[in-house]
Amino acid sequence: MSVETEIKLRVRSAAEAVQLLRGAGFEPAHERAFEANTLFDTADKSLLAKRHLLRLREFRGESILTFKGAPAEGPHKIRPEFETAVASSAAFRQILEALGYAPCFRYEKYRTTFQHPGENGHAVVDETPIGVFLELEGEAGWIDRTASRLGFGPGDYITASYGALWRSYCLERGIEPGDMVFPGRACGG
pLDDT in tens, 80-112: 999 999 999 999 999 999 999 999 999 999 999
Contacts of residue 12, defined as CB under 8 A and 6 or more positions apart, other chains included, come to 132
pTM: 0.93
pLDDT tens track for 56-70: 999 999 999 999 999
Tell me what the mean pLDDT of segment 16-35 comes to: 97
Domains of the chain (ranges, CATH numbers): 3-173 (2.40.320.10)
pLDDT computed for residue 187 by the predictor = 46
pLDDT tens track for 106-140: 999 999 999 999 999 999 999 999 999 999 999 99
Residue closest to 18 by CA, chosen among 125, 172, 153: 125
Are 107 and 160 in contact, with CB atoms under 8 Å apart? no
User: Which H, E and C letters describe the chain, residue by residue?
Assistant: CCEEEEEEEEECCHHHHHHHHHHCCCEEEEEEEEEEEEEEECCCCHHHHCCCEEEEEEECCEEEEEEECCCECCCCEEEEEEEEEECCHHHHHHHHHHCCCEEEEEEEEEEEEEECCCCCCEEEEEEECCEEEEEEECCHHHHHHHHHHCCCCHHHCECCCHHHHHHHHHHHHCCCCCCECCCCCCCCC
Are 1 and 91 in contact, with CB atoms under 8 Å apart? no
Q: Greatest CA span in the chain, whole angstroms?
A: 49
Q: How far is CA 68 from the centre of its chain?
A: 11
